[in-house]
Amino acid sequence: MLMKAIIITILCTLPAVFCVRCYQCASSQDSKGEDNCGAYKRFDKESHIAVECFSDESHMPGSFCMKLTQQGPKGFISIMSFREKVVIVTGASSGIGAAIAVKFAEQGASVVLTARNQARLKEVADKCGNYGAKHCIIIADLTKKDEIGKIVATTVERFGKIDVLVNNAGIAGRASIWEANAMELYDTIMATNLHAVVYLTSLAAPHLIKTKGNIVNISSIAAVNVIKPEQFAYCTSKAGLDHFTRSAALDFASKGVRVNSINPGPVETNIAQCLGDRQGEFWNMMQKMTALGRLSDSEEIADLVLFVASDKAKAITGSSYITDNGLLLKRGA
């Protein structure tokens, strides 16, 4: 362990022109004579650590002389391998869901992408494929029980197991409680944001217990604070999701399965497209609401999801992670 720590420290201080592919196998070729050991995309069970960088240099001198790779972010040390893990991501066709799916693929997972928009899912699947990840597209409407069942059945048939379930799909809508369409809107939002999560979790539970996997639910700061009026249905669905997360975490704990939620504040996605030319105005308003004076992007949320789903978070269950750039702090919530 001491040697590992020393090596990691040294690698973190290397100039960007150097790239160490793998410190354990000490070779730039794998058993098939490939140019690299595949540590970045195909971590072995002993968790190879790879440092990725961009450089025209061919190698660095010394006992760790490795071939360079042009893949991956500059100076990135990957310690959250999901190699040989099977991950389901709902609502994977755009925004946060798409970013989560691609991040898992980048870390070697087999990814099951599900949503209703086939064309957008195909685009995200192609991005996953760029990392050599196995993936599967499932077109499903989460308000229909048989289609939720299809997600679990297809995943197990294709990949044989489920390691991580990311319940990301969600919808929103505005109405005051006294309006004529209030209950129709409430039923619609609850069907996707809460009922579908509970049902999919129930069906996936036996498989997650077998793998001692984990669940990450994408909630919202609306679960803990009512940000705007006319959002009673959405806020209620997310508050319910957080409480379901904690209840399920307690039930699953004895089985070795963890359950957590991520509660984002404003995240700049295509959700405001319906505003047309007013999108800029909307995002500027949201930015001013945060203490840090910034908005998150989907990749930031995906990074947090990967941490919570990884073995680095093995002691964390029943927790809700607020990531809102200090919006609740500024509101005094």
DSSP state letters, 169-210: ------B-TTSTTHHHHHHHHHIIIIIHHHHHHHHHHHHHHH
Q: What is the mean pLDDT of residues 44-67?
A: 35
Lowest mean pLDDT among 76-80, 147-151, 184-188: 76-80
pTM of the model: 0.77
Report how far apart, in Å, the C-alpha atoms of 164 and of each of 52, 80, 89 are.
26, 13, 9
Of the chain, the percentage scoring pLDDT greater than 90 comes to 68
Mean pLDDT rounded to a whole number for the chain: 81
pLDDT of 25 strictly over 90? no
pLDDT level of residue 21 (50, 70, 90 thresholds): very low
Report how far apart, in Å, the C-alpha atoms of 196 and of each of 149, 172, 209, 215, 325 are: 11, 15, 20, 14, 29
The answer, yes or no, to whether residue 127 has pLDDT greater than 50, is yes
Q: Which residues pair with 166 in a beta bridge?
A: 89, 216
User: What length is written for the chain?
Assistant: 333
Residues with active-site annotation: 234
Structure tokens at 168: 């990301």
Q: Map out the domains of the chain with their CATH numbers.
A: 1-79 (no CATH), 86-331 (3.40.50.720)
Does position 70 have pLDDT exceeding 80, yes or no? no
70-74, 142-146, 270-274: segment of lowest average pLDDT: 70-74
Instruction: Tell me the C-alpha to C-alpha distance, in Å, between residue 191 and each of 95, 170, 324.
Output: 20, 9, 25
CA distance 194 to 54: 43
Whose CA is closest to 91, among 191, 162, 144, 170?
170
* 24 pLDDT tier (thresholds 50, 70, 90): very low
Q: What tokens appear for 43 in the block?
A: 């971590």
Position 282 scores a pLDDT of 73
Res 49: pLDDT: 38
Arithmetic mean of pLDDT, 161-167: 98
Tell me what pLDDT residue 234 has.
96
Task: Dump strand ranges (E) for the chain.
Answer: 50-52, 76-78, 86-90, 110-115, 135-139, 164-167, 214-218, 258-264, 320-323
128/104 Cα distance (integer angstroms): 8
pLDDT of res. 277: 61
Mean pLDDT of 255-274: 86
CB contact set of 217 (below 8 Å; sequence gap of 6+): 166, 167, 197, 241, 242, 244, 245, 259, 260, 261, 262
Closest C-alpha to 304, from 126, 168, 157: 168
* Average pLDDT value for residue range 290-315: 96
Q: Is pLDDT at 66 greater than 70 in this prediction?
A: no
Helix axes 196-211, 145-159, angle to 10 degrees: 20
Q: What is the pLDDT of residue 285?
A: 84
Residue 24 vs residue 94, higher pLDDT: 94
Please report the pLDDT score of residue 276 as a whole number: 59
For residue 256, pLDDT beyond 70: yes
What percent of the chain has pLDDT above 70?
73
Q: What is the pLDDT of residue 166?
A: 98
Q: Which residue is it, tokens 């229909």?
A: 144
pLDDT at 106: 96
